[in-house]
Amino acid sequence: MKRQQPFQRGAGVLLAVSSLPSPYGIGTFGDSAYRFVDFLKRCGGSYWQVLPLGPTGYGDSPYQSFSAFAGNPYLIDPEILMREGLLKREDAEAFSWGENPKKVDYEKLYAYRMDLLRIAWRNSRHKSEKAFFDFCRSNAFWLDDYARFQAIKKHYAEKCWLYWPEEIRTRKQDALAALCETLEEEIDFYKFCQFHFFAQWKKLKEYANQNGVSIIGDIPIYVALDSSDVWAGQEEFLLGKDGRPEDVAGVPPDEFSDSGQLWGNPLYRWDEMEKNGFTWWKLRMGFAAKMYDVIRIDHFIGIVRYYAVRSDRVDAKHGKWRRGPGEKLLTAISEVIGETKIIAEDLGAVTPAVKRLRLKAGYPGMKILSYGFGEGAGNENLPHNFEKNCVVYGGTHDNEPLAGYFKHADETELLFAKHYFGVRQTKALCEAVVRAGYASVADLCLFQIQDLLGLDHRYRMNTPATVGGNWTFRITDEMLSDELSEKLYELTYIYGRGKEE
């Protein structure tokens, strides 16, 4: 296994693309994304961490995607399609995209966004374009199955693939070929969407890189049951004869939930994956390495050991820990990612074996400052206990923003935090935590935009173990003020996190 070299000292912002401003109901790869890169540059920041960019499925979660490879068509920018002559402004303005610019309206997006993209598709001459042909050919290893999956799913009224006719569910060659011939135009539409998603993303990433900003992507360790990955590769997942999972993924009871978190994702047949040299994982990580400059592996501990819960359970209280592939998988990954670096999300039930593997690979782990105030001076999330090869966050997308956390913290934690940071007023804690993160020895310092803006619990991105009301947070252009960029620029250079001129 190739050992990863440490990161250079730097800082950045955690912000989902969906959270950017736009007049079309959700953030896109349009002008606001470029303005956000400009904002990061003014801050002296060198990293933009995004959430997973795949098509959102159950609960609108980017961690429950219809594909581990495909992009979310909601993020395709209509304005860019207008400039390319594929849409007219009145096409986009004919639909309602929601009334609140600070929240994503997924109901409106579900109802209308694909209709808008179909207008662009009908206006397109992509079938005669070499760029489209080259895209389809180079991405055929995932694109063909994904486009078929989405077209068939629409054909069967959006039902999960488990409820498709048996010959399609089990991918009988003749039956599948016949159906796909019938759905040829629909399959082409989904390929068209992916072509434009990746064309727009590539240009945005190039702009970021040209301005000294590296993109940190996020890779969920598991894939959704209702996904093209599971439908097309059933032999690599722990499924019964009927295609339904025997066991599913989750975590035992923790600080987020007394009953644990029952994610419901199918588990991998690690023994089968090892036999074929982890081919699917190599394809996935090699693809991600081209999309991002850094890859954050969500739930890294699942590579060492994973929690399995019987699929008929209603909660995750009674699961079992099983051994994962460990170093064998990381060795396979290191063969395909080139110079792209990895961050290990090592939160939760970390064992000595997890730490040993992370250190052997050279991956930095994560420290969460809002976890630091409940166990006294020995808490590993307090800055004085950090080691250099780590990434410090105020909190992640799963955490309450700092202002909300301190508003609801118990008296003991609040008092400890005030003493630790040397402040008297609760309202001063957010800025003190941000400064401490920048000042720490952690190689990378990343804060949610909510924490940099001092926003409270009302602006939380996600509450684990809940469904509904999550993933809707958005910013407005006014929030990315010169005052904020000047404050962050000062912190960046005082604490040596800026790139040398």
pLDDT, one tens digit per residue, over 261-288 is 899 999 999 999 999 999 999 999 999 9
Whole-angstrom distance, CA of residue 332 vs CA of residue 1? 8
Whole-angstrom distance, CA of residue 310 vs CA of residue 324? 17
pLDDT class of 202 with cuts at 50, 70, 90:
very high
Task: With CA atoms as reference, report the closest residue to 447 among 9, 11, 2.
Answer: 11
Please give the backbone phi and psi of residue 451, each rounded to the nearest 5 degrees, phi first.
Answer: -75, -35
pLDDT class of 348 with cuts at 50, 70, 90:
confident
Q: How does the average pLDDT of the chain come out, rounded? A: 96
Please determine, for residue 435, whether its predicted confidence score (pLDDT) is greater than 90.
yes
pLDDT tens digits along 291-300: 999 999 999 9
In Å, what is the CA distance from 448 to each residue of 135, 224, 287?
34, 26, 26
**Looking at residues 130-134, what average pLDDT do you find?**
98
Strand (E) or helix (H) holding 284: helix 279-291
Task: With CA atoms as reference, report the closest residue to 70 among 248, 224, 268.
Answer: 224
Name 81's Cβ contacts closer than 8 Å, sequence gap at least 6.
Answer: 87, 120, 196
**Looking at residues 359-365, what average pLDDT do you find?**
97
Are 60 and 471 a contacting pair, CB within 8 Å?
yes
Share of the chain above pLDDT 90, in %: 94
Beta bridge partners of 47: 12, 214
For helices 140-155 and 279-291, what crossing angle results, to 10°?
100
Strand (E) or helix (H) holding 359: helix 352-361
Tokens of 261: 């978190």
**Looking at residues 15-30, what average pLDDT do you find?**
97
Top-confidence range, 123-127, 239-243, 496-500: 123-127
Task: With CA atoms as reference, report the closest residue to 57 among 467, 499, 476.
Answer: 467
Please determine, for residue 256, whether its predicted confidence score (pLDDT) is greater than 80.
no
pTM: 0.96
Please determine, for residue 322, whether its predicted confidence score (pLDDT) is greater than 50.
yes
Share of the chain above pLDDT 70, in %: 99
Are 52 and 397 a contacting pair, CB within 8 Å?
no
pLDDT class of 501 with cuts at 50, 70, 90:
very low
Please determine, for residue 416, whether its predicted confidence score (pLDDT) is greater than 90.
yes
* Residues belonging to the active site: 298, 345, 398
For helices 327-334 and 352-361, what crossing angle results, to 10°?
20
Please determine, for residue 371, whether its predicted confidence score (pLDDT) is greater than 70.
yes
Per DSSP, helices labelled H in 124-210 are 130-138, 140-155, 166-169, 173-182, 184-210
User: What pLDDT sits at residue 500?
Assistant: 57
